[in-house]
Amino acid sequence: MSEIRSSIAAIALACVSAMAFAQGSAGDPLAVGRQMLAEDNPGELWVDRGKMLFYQKRGPKNASLEKCDFGLGPGKLEGAFAQLPRFFADTDKVQDVESRLVTCMVELQGLNHEEIVRNRFSTLDRTSEVEALATFVASRSNGMKMDVRLSNHQEREMYKAGEYIFHRRNGPTDFACITCHGDDGKRIRLQDLPNMKDPKQMQAVVSGWPAYLGTKSTVLTMQSRLYECVWQMRLPDLGYVSDMSIALTTYLNYQGNGAVIRVPGVRR
């Protein structure tokens, strides 16, 4: 309980001091560090590892993921990530890159669904394979523009659900996503909060996930980022590749359409 109070206090303090800080952004003292880290991003090693895992014959069915369909046909990787999330007839669901990987790892390779979900996010003591795979698949859309199409009924429903969730106040803090992400110049301590009502800032967000996080020493994906946000709001755990997570991702990625994809990004 006091944790909530102290973090609300921190946020309040940050909002007050954010004004003064934001004005000094001309000589952004954090820029040098971010630039140096971005130029040589450890996340690139996840692309390599993901590629190796993708082509490796694995699981009880001793198969690679080469026949996995990410929306442009089995095995077609170029540009597939840019159009996700999208509806897939074989699962009758709107899916993002991670949920699609889970589908293929289970269907094509016979790997255990529960185990994949249990190891979905890497920690310092345990590595997640689906993270590396998602980074590799996403990297095959590098240089292309985010292009979520909402071309059918289910995709449009997901988008609307995501939009609703983004704006709906919830839980013990009575926050909606937009509470922290609806205005310029907001910060929690020295962490910038992107204004997701601004198309440019939204583009910067969606084009940089998956991202290598310095504080976690691993690449993390949008699923992980959303999980963390929901946790910060003191809401119940966001289910991995749940409808809620896909709805939010659909809404966010569509808002970021036109962004040039450059993954993995790098974050604190």
Partner 1 sequence: MNQLRRNFLKLSGAAGTVVLALCAGLIKTGEALAATWNKAGFESKAVADALKSLGAANPAESKDIVITAPDIAENGAVVPIAVTSKIPNTQSISIIAEKNPFPLTSTFDVANGGEGYVSIRIKIGQTSNVRAIVKADGRFYTAAKEVKVTIGGCG
Partner 2 sequence: MADPMKIRATLQGDAADIRILMLHPMETGQRKDPKGEIVPMHFIQSVVVTHNGKTVLDAQWSQAISRNPFLGLRVQGAKTGDKISVTWTDNKGDKRADEAVVAAPS
68 is catalytic: no
**Binders of partner 1 among 244-263, rule CB under 8 A?**
none
Q: Across the strands, what pairs with 58?
A: 63
Q: Which two tokens stand for residue 49?
A: 């590892």
Question: According to the binding rule CB under 8 A, does residue 16 interact with partner 2?
Answer: no
**Binders of partner 2 among 188-227, rule CB under 8 A?**
214, 217
Binding residue for partner 1, selected from 61, 91, 191, 239, defined by CB under 8 A: 191
The secondary structure of residue 96, as a DSSP letter, is -
Which candidate, 141, 129, 142, places its Cα nearest to that of 219?
A: 129
Binding residue for partner 2, selected from 2, 5, 40, 62, defined by CB under 8 A: 40
Q: 15, 104, 180, 229: which is the annotated catalytic residue?
A: 229
Q: Give the range of 91-99, 118-126, 161-169, 186-194 binding partner 2 by CB under 8 A.
A: 118-126
* Amino acid identity at 84: L
The DSSP bridge pattern shows strands 211-213 and 265-267 to be: parallel
Say which entry of partner 1, partner 2, none residue 157 contacts (CB below 5 to 8 A, set by partner kind).
none
| Contacts with 60 (C-beta within 8 Å, 6 or more apart), sequence order | 109, 110, 111
Per-residue binding letters, 207-226, with partner 1 (x by CB under 8 A): ------xxx-x-------x-
Q: Across the strands, what pairs with 267?
A: 213
HEC string for 114-145: HHHHHCCCCECCECCHHHHHHHHHHHCCCCCE
**Binders of partner 1 among 27-46, rule CB under 8 A?**
29-30, 32-34, 36-37
Q: In the bound complex, what is the minimum distance in angstroms from residue 217's beta carbon to partner 2?
A: 4
Instruction: Return d(Cα 99, Cα 130) in angstroms, integer.
Output: 9
Q: Is 73 left (phi over 0), alpha (psi -120 to 50) or beta?
A: left
Question: According to the binding rule CB under 8 A, does residue 187 interact with partner 1?
Answer: yes
Q: In the bound complex, what is the minimum distance in angstroms from residue 33's beta carbon to partner 2?
A: 12
Q: Write out the residues near partner 1 by the rule CB under 8 A.
A: 10, 14, 29-30, 32-34, 36-37, 180, 187-191, 193, 213-215, 217, 225, 228-229, 232, 267-268
